[in-house]
Structure 1
């Protein structure tokens, strides 16, 4: 992995066509939105301004014709965190134009076992997301350019194996 003078936010500010995310963990509760997660667990309603800043950023990209999409690899039954992320996060973020897909490995092997979480921007830059053993985000690393093809292959496999979130949620959502 290489270091980059660009932050993850700067990659979002500068991508031209596509930003793709692969999510592989069952619990990101130590990586952000902690208060919202606790509110969800307590049965509180989702605040109307939940994720407002991210939704507005998504809208700015999608209005400009850019695509932001992700695949989450998961299995059922959902963890409490995944129920929160999908029920509050994905449903809210989709109002900004982000597209979500689910690769449900409940009854099949994971075709991307061992692949880390990552963002891929314009099929040109890959930023691996690093988490500690508790699921806390500890930073990101830009991959060397020669590894981009490997990770776009992971993206393509994930998308080919996944189904649209809306369809999956209609079958399995809570």
Structure 2
């Protein structure tokens, strides 16, 4: 881990060109907006203001020419959580300019087995995300700068094997 005081929030505040996120879990239901997930499960409409803070942050970056991209490695059938995340979360976050891709490994090998969830910023900084077995977020570890090249390769591999979310969703998710 980095010995400086850098945090995931610091990396978001300071990136200049691109923030990239790899998601690997089928269930993050014990992290983030748990109330919205329960509303989704109950068949309620999406709450007003759902993900508004994140969409505003994304928009503040994308309006300044920065990119925020995300690849989710998954397989079908989708869990209820993934239906929520993709149907509510991704579609909402796209309104701020976040770009989403799906690496569907249902009928093919995962090109990134064992790679953890992470954020990579400008190919220079990496924060590995930690979750427990139930999908509850435990924190992030900002890695030494020397590890950034390794995670940039993971990013490139994920993007090379993924397809744009909107195309994938139209075929498989919706």
Distance in structure 1 (CA, Å) of the matches to 2:12 and 2:149: 20
How big is the shift at 1:134? 1.4
Unaligned runs of 5+ in 2: none
Aligned position for 1:82 = 82
- Distance in 2, Cα, partners of 1:163 & 1:35: 30
Question: Who is 1:120 aligned against?
Answer: 120
Which runs of 5 or more residues in structure 1 are unaligned? none
The DSSP-based 3-state class of the residue aligned with 2:12 is helix
Q: Would you say how many aligned residue pairs link Structure 1 and Structure 2? A: 174
Q: Is 2:107 the partner of 1:111? A: no
Q: What SS does structure 2 have at the residue aligned with 1:116?
A: coil
Q: Which range moved further: 8-17 or 155-164?
A: 8-17
Give the ranges of 4+ consecutive aligned residues of structure 1 lying more than 4 Å apart after TM superposition.
none
Report the TM-score, using the length of structure 1 for normalisation. 0.97
SS of the counterpart of 1:20?
A: strand
Matched, 1:14 2:28: no
Conserved 8 A contact 1:4-1:142: no
**What is the DSSP-based 3-state SS (H/G/I as helix, E as strand, rest coil) of the residue aligned with 2:83?**
helix
In structure 2, the CA distance between the partners of 1:32 and 1:161, relative to structure 1 (3 Å rule), is same
Is the alpha carbon distance of 1:41 and 1:79 closer, same or farther for their aligned partners in structure 2, counting shifts above 3 Å? Answer: same
Query: Do 1:51 and 1:89's aligned partners in 2 also have CA atoms closer than 8 Å?
Result: yes
What is the aligned partner in structure 2 of residue 53 from structure 1?
53
TM-score (norm 2): 0.97
Matched residues in 2 for 1:96 and 1:10: separation? 20
- Superposed CA RMSD in Å reads 0.9
List per-residue Cα deviations over 1:60-103 (Å, max 9, x = no partner): 00000000000000000000000000000000000000000000
1:25 aligns with 2:30: no
Per-residue deviation, residues 75-132 of structure 1 (Å, max 9, x unmatched): 0000000000000000000000000000000000101010000000011000000111
Matched-pair contact (CA < 8 Å) for 1:104–1:162: yes
Q: Does 1:149 align with 2:137?
A: no
Which stretch of structure 1 is more off in the superposition, 39-48 or 4-13? 4-13
